[in-house]
């Protein structure tokens, strides 16, 4: 029987980074020409897709790669403070004990991810980490991983917290589990019709086992 592969997004899915990312984004607002994010705006942004957020912010598309690079660099200084999403460590351990292959695809830096995993004793759980920056989704990175690792799409499930994770997975013809504990709201995730929508990490194993 072919081993199932579960690929995770990092920020908001495994690591509780939303507050840290918002504070960094607010610190960089003047330099990159966008408004700071108030708590009220954050609630609004949670209901936006990635494209809508970029449009709403007014950030020039040319500046986005530089902004992403700067955010990752600033986040490096906060890695030691960051914690896993409550319950995710136990869920990951369960998946590994049931012989699923685990990986990460992220727009964060590999250095940040490996430091976080090491600090939280999660590094031994993952078979691979792929890092890459895409503004509107991760389809290219997912397809590259499937090709390089020779994974069949039907054996892969992606787990993410944003609308772009759902879009990218669908384009790559793999199943997707959307999680409601990260950035996007349950309502906007549901509108994208993920294969599964879950509210607790403890739900992961049952879904993976039965699909």
Positions marked active-site: 9
68: left (phi over 0), alpha (psi -120 to 50) or beta: alpha
All residues at 6 or more sequence positions from 28 whose CB lies less than 8 Å from its CB, including other chains: 67, 70, 71, 74
All residues at 6 or more sequence positions from 36 whose CB lies less than 8 Å from its CB, including other chains: 25, 26, 29
- Token pair 């990490």: residue: 201
Q: Which helix (H) or strand (E) holds 156?
A: strand 156-160
Distance CA 1, CA 48 (A): 40
Distance CA 16, CA 104 (A): 15
Distance CA 211, CA 203 (A): 13
């Amino acid at each position: 029987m072919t081993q199932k592969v579960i690929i995770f997004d990092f920020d908001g899915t495994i690591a509780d980074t939303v507050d840290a990312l918002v504070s960094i984004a607010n610190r960089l607002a003047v330099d990159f020409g966008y408004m700071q994010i108030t708590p009220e705006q954050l609630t609004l942004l949670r209901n936006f897709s990635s494209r809508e957020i970029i449009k709403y912010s007014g950030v020039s598309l040319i500046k986005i790669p530089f902004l992403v690079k700067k955010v990752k660099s600033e986040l490096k200084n906060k890695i030691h403070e960051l914690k896993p999403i409550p319950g995710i460590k136990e869920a990951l351990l369960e998946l590994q004990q049931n012989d699923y292959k685990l990986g990460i695809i992220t727009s964060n830096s590999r250095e940040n991810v490996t430091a976080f995993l090491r600090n939280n004793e999660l590094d031994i759980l993952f078979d691979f980490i792929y890092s890459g920056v895409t503004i509107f989704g991760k389809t290219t990175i997912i397809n590259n991983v499937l090709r390089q690792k020779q994974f069949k799409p039907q054996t892969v499930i992606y787990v993410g917290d944003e609308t772009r994770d759902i879009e990218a997975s669908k384009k790559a013809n793999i199943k997707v589990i959307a999680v409601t504990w990260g950035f996007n709201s349950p309502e906007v995730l549901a509108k994208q019709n993920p294969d599964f929508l879950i509210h607790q990490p403890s739900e992961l194993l049952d879904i993976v086992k039965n699909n």
